[in-house]
Amino acid sequence: MPILDPPFLDHVGLAAAPAQIEKLGFHLTPTSGVAAHARIFFERSYFEVTPPAETGDGLLGAKGWFLRTADPGKAAEVLRGDGISVIGPRRYEGGDGIWLDVTIEHGNPALPILTRRLDKPADVWPPPEASNHANDVTRLSAVHLEAKDPAHVAHILETIGARAGRSGTFELGSGSRVVVQESRDGREGLIALELDRSDQPPLTLEVSPV
């Protein structure tokens, strides 16, 4: 049985131009006081959008993904106890807030960063309500990723509290999911984002690790 409670999908970092995002029907919220930085808010999660990087395939660039946990320090302790390399917890001061982060196996884009915001209460950040998006998206429901060693990623996800399901699927808090598959070309990281929509089928965005 996992020692930790299941973490929650917090946010995904995207490298994309505003026009590219708006064309997909998302509402961008500029970050106050931070140039070239915006967020796309869903129910209790968001995309963090920064200037684009060339992915070579025309897809949105995926810069990393974050899981929210109530106690990053305890998560780091559990991971270290299992022989997994971690950095942190350490304080990160962004342009409009302060977070406590734990990096798992630095340099492995298939793995999440564990995070908790320090300067806002947990019940208000991420915001509980989605922005009004033209594409009717309400929730980030799943992230899909490729890994050279899916079994290793699976072990780490279970160690931090995710519940293993079928076909490489892991359940997080509030019913969100991580889907892990073996890399076909040696690259690792996010390859798709699944989003729920009101009164419509889910929307899937293909992304490319950068």
> How do the domains of the chain map onto residue ranges?
8-209
Q: Quick one: CATH architecture of 8-209? A: Roll (3.10)
For residue 120, the one-letter residue type is K
pLDDT at 36: 84
Q: What is the pLDDT of residues 134-147, one digit of tens each?
A: 999 999 999 999 99
* Selected residue with higher pLDDT from 9 and 3: 9
Peptide bond just before 209 cis, omega within 30 deg = no
SS3 state at 180: strand
- The pair phi, psi for residue 186, each rounded to 5°, is 90, -15
The pLDDT assigned to 30 comes to 93
Q: How many CB atoms lie within 10 A of CB 156?
A: 20
Q: What letter does residue 53 receive in the DSSP assignment? A: -
**CA–CA gap between residue 101 and residue 92 (Å, rounded):** 7
For residue range 42-75, list pLDDT tens digits in order: 999 999 999 875 555 567 999 999 999 999 999 9
